[in-house]
Amino acid sequence: MIAPELASGTQAPTLGAADHADPLLPIELLELELSLDGYDGKTDFCETVRVASAKAGGEFLFDLPAEGLMDDCKRIAVLRIPSSNEKMRVVLAVLDHSGTEIRMEAPDPATAHLVRFADAFIKVLERF
Residue-wise pLDDT for 23-38, tens only, equals: 445 566 777 888 898 8
Domain count, the chain: 1
State yes or no: pLDDT of 11 exceeds 70. Answer: no
CA-wise closest residue to 103 among 121, 123, 77: 77
Q: List the one residue out of 91, 83, 84 whose CA is nearest residue 49.
A: 91
The whole-number pLDDT of residue 86 equals 67
Q: Is 45 helix (H, G, I), strand (E, B) or coil?
A: helix
Confidence band (pLDDT; 50, 70, 90) for 122? confident
Asked whether residue 6 is domain-assigned, the answer is: no
Tell me what the pLDDT averaged over the chain comes to.
Answer: 79
Measure the CA–CA gap between 7 and 14, rounded to whole angstroms.
16
pTM of the model: 0.74
Q: What is the mean pLDDT of residues 19-23?
A: 46
User: What is the extent of the structural domain holding 40?
Assistant: 15-127
Q: Where are the beta strands (DSSP E) in 45-101?
A: 59-65, 73-82, 88-96
- The reply to whether 1 falls in a domain is no
